[in-house]
Amino acid sequence: MDKHYSAGIDFLRAFAVIAVILYHLPQYSFQGGNQGVTIFFVISGYLMAKNASYAYQKKQFSWIGFYKKRIKRIYPFLLFSLLIFILIAGSIQIRMLGNIKSELPSLLFGYNNWWQIHEKVSYFDRFANSSLFKHYWSLAVELQFYLVFPLFFLTVMRLSRKRGYQLMYLLTIISILTSLLSPFSIAYYNTFARLYPFIVGMFGYFNRKNINDVISSKKVTKFWLIMSCLTLAVFIPLPSFTGSSLLVSVLTMLLLVLINDKEVEKRTKIAKFRLQYIGKISYELYLVHYSVFILLVNIAPKMNPLIELVVVLIMTVLMIAGFHSFMHLKRKAGRYLGAGLVAVAIGMIIFAPTNRLTADQNELKQELSSNLKKIENQPNQKGNILFLGDSVMLGAYQELEDTFSGQATVDAKESRQISSLATILQGYPNLADYSTVVIGLGTNGIISDESIDEILTQLKDKQIYWITIKCPEGCQESVNQKLAELPSRYKNVNIIDWFSHSKDHPEYFYDDETHLNGEGRSVYAQLMKSVLSK
């Protein structure tokens, strides 16, 4: 088996990390970019199967050797990045290290995804004091996959070909069902719900000859056609997150099989794109970028997105250079420097807040939980007005109830995204009986024309009011600009301009400048009433 360097794989890694970075970009989130993580998982499954098969054929496969390679690849820069960001955050704003005492063990021992599930952390909420290391959940999933991979691989290899594939099919089905049936905020982090991209990657390697036979002609053309489909699948995702992930997994697997052919890789001229240089540092970029964004949001929340990207790239290069310089220090000097930095970091951890949530956010968290229970216990329909929203509207549930005297139905939920609304509306109880629908979505990511068109087609016989958003750390500008265009495209759509009404009133908001305190909720509900009464 040829173990030549693959510029094609680094090309895919570069595409994946760029997608993730664009998704996390504070002011202009690119919908679907989080599928870059799925691409990484497929690549991991494919390469693990490839490298392990090579060692197995040579009778050189070793559990200890496998784990040593993974630890050597992952942990040095992981530890270095944790140390540097703890030192930076502790020096700038110690509150950014809130919860680090309980979070740090999960980062070091590879169970951060389960820690976030336990802490009920939503990956889609954008608070100014979000954890610097929230994106490490995917590294935890990778580490857990590596932990069980030797056993899984050896089991598949020792079974008959048919039985081995049956085991892979069974685990894939279980993983997909876990993703479909679990609450989304849990499925997003759940290792079992994330297992199928790894298995799809493994399956691609084991079946590369059969797949190549099927796509035996015009491979270069087919590579770019599949790459185009992958780009569309990532940045214009399906309404179902699981469906999107499965599609991205299969397309990535096909690309990996194609570029496994050295001649195809050469003829695609991938190297000319120079993206392999980004691919080579994709791991470092992934670990660094989100932490830098969180630092920038706290230091300069209105920084130009292009400048933010430049800062991320510069910070990554500096950290890689610093890491290698540190590793090449003379043993004695390196030991003293490392011990000093670790001692300072430990001091910061000791004095860090026990809980990163401020008193405001603790209050908000309790209110959202209480209001959600009220919504779940309310009748299916009250009046002819339906409010559909996210956590901003959920916080104002009681004020809306009081203002509309119980004659409006409020259906709001934390982390709800516009891409999920079309699915929610399908079969919605008594939808035909509502004449007016008020939509308050957009704070959890950008909104696409496709999602809007699908929703408004479903609601074409109703009067629609869409609320602009106040979310300075999210994609406020792009969302509100898109909403402003709707009345010219749809005669039944009106805009409730909450942004203009509230932008000069910080007293309406909690410290995240998005969710509403008591005064803000009252003003919010009164604005809804005054607009709908006209």
Give the separation between CA 364 and CA 503, rounded to whole angstroms. Answer: 20
Cβ proximity of 275 and 231 under 8 Å: no
For 8, left (φ over 0), alpha (ψ -120 to 50), or beta? alpha
Tell me the pLDDT tens digit for each residue of 163-221. 999 999 999 999 999 999 988 778 899 999 999 999 999 999 999 999 988 887 788 88
Any domain includes 314: no
In whole angstroms, give the CA distance from residue 434 to residue 393.
Answer: 19
**pTM for the structure as a whole:** 0.77
pLDDT tens-digit series, residues 156-166: 999 998 999 99
DSSP state letter for 415: T
Query: Within its chain, how far is the Cα of 175 from the centroid?
Result: 18
Of 268, 283, 298, which closes a domain? Answer: 283
Sheet holding 493-496, edge to edge: 408-412, 385-389, 436-440, 463-467, 493-496
Q: Which of 433, 357, 366, 443 is nearest to 398 (CA)?
A: 366
Note whether residue 13 is domain-resident: yes
Q: Give the mean model confidence (pLDDT) for residues 40-65.
A: 94
Do the Cβ atoms of 300 and 34 come closer than 8 Å? no
Residue 186, number of CB atoms within 10 A of its CB: 14
Residues 241 and 390 in one domain: no
Q: How many domains does the chain have?
A: 2
CB 397 within 8 A of CB 375: yes
Tell me if 335 is assigned to some domain.
Answer: no
Q: Which two tokens stand for residue 184?
A: 């989304």
Instruction: Evaluate whether 97 touches 89 at the Cβ level (below 8 Å).
Output: yes
Burial class (CB within 10 angstroms; exposed 0-12, middle 13-18, buried 19+) of 463: middle
Whether 458 is in a domain gets the answer yes
Q: Which domain holds residue 459?
A: 359-532
Q: Sorting pLDDT into bands at 50, 70 and 90, what band is 1?
A: very low
Q: In terms of domains, do 223 and 367 share one?
A: no
**Residue that terminates a domain, selected from 229, 259, 283:** 283
Question: DSSP code of 304?
Answer: -
| Residues 25 and 169 reside in one and the same domain | yes
Residues 366 and 490 in one domain: yes
Euclidean distance between CA atoms 106 and 140, whole angstroms: 8
Percent of the chain with pLDDT over 70: 92
pLDDT tens digit sequence for 428-472: 888 999 999 999 998 876 677 788 999 999 999 999 999 999 987
Which of 91-95, 114-118, 351-355, 371-375 shows the highest mean pLDDT?
Answer: 114-118
- The SS3 assignment for 389 reads strand
User: pLDDT tens digits, residue range 129-140?
Assistant: 578 999 999 999
Q: Of 525 and 354, which is predicted with more confidence?
A: 525
pLDDT number for residue 335: 73
Q: How far apart are CA 418 and CA 453, in angstroms?
A: 11
Q: Which residues are paired to 439 by β-bridges?
A: 388, 466
Summarize the confidence of residues 297-301 as an average pLDDT: 77
Q: Note whether 277 and 370 are same-domain residues.
A: no
Give the span between the Cα atoms of 97 and 345, in whole angstroms: 11
Per residue in 489-501, pLDDT (tens digit) is 999 999 999 999 9
Would you say the C-alpha torsion 452, 454, 455, 461 has a positive or negative sign? positive
Alpha carbon 160 to chain centroid distance?
A: 38
Tell me which residue has tokens 């549930």.
Answer: 397
Integer Cα distance of 398 and 379 in angstroms = 15
Cβ contact 476:470 at 8 Å: yes
User: Angle 16-20-450 (CA atoms, 0-180°, nearest 5)?
Assistant: 100
pLDDT digits (tens, 9 = 90+) for 347-374: 888 877 765 555 566 677 778 788 888 8
Residue 386 has pLDDT above 90, yes or no: yes
- Give the type of residue at 333: A
Cα–Cα distance, 116 to 423 (Å, whole number): 26
Query: Which of 238, 259, 283 finishes a domain?
Result: 283
Token pair in block for residue 135? 């994106």
The answer to whether residue 290 is domain-embedded is no
Domain assignment present for residue 190? The answer is yes
Same-domain check for residues 173 and 31: yes
Decide if 309 is inside a domain.
no
Q: What are phi and psi of 405, to 5 degrees?
A: 50, 40
Distance (Å, whole) CA 486 – CA 441: 14
Q: Does residue 210 belong to any structural domain of this protein?
A: yes
CATH number of the domain to which 364 belongs:
3.40.50.1110
Residue type, 137: W
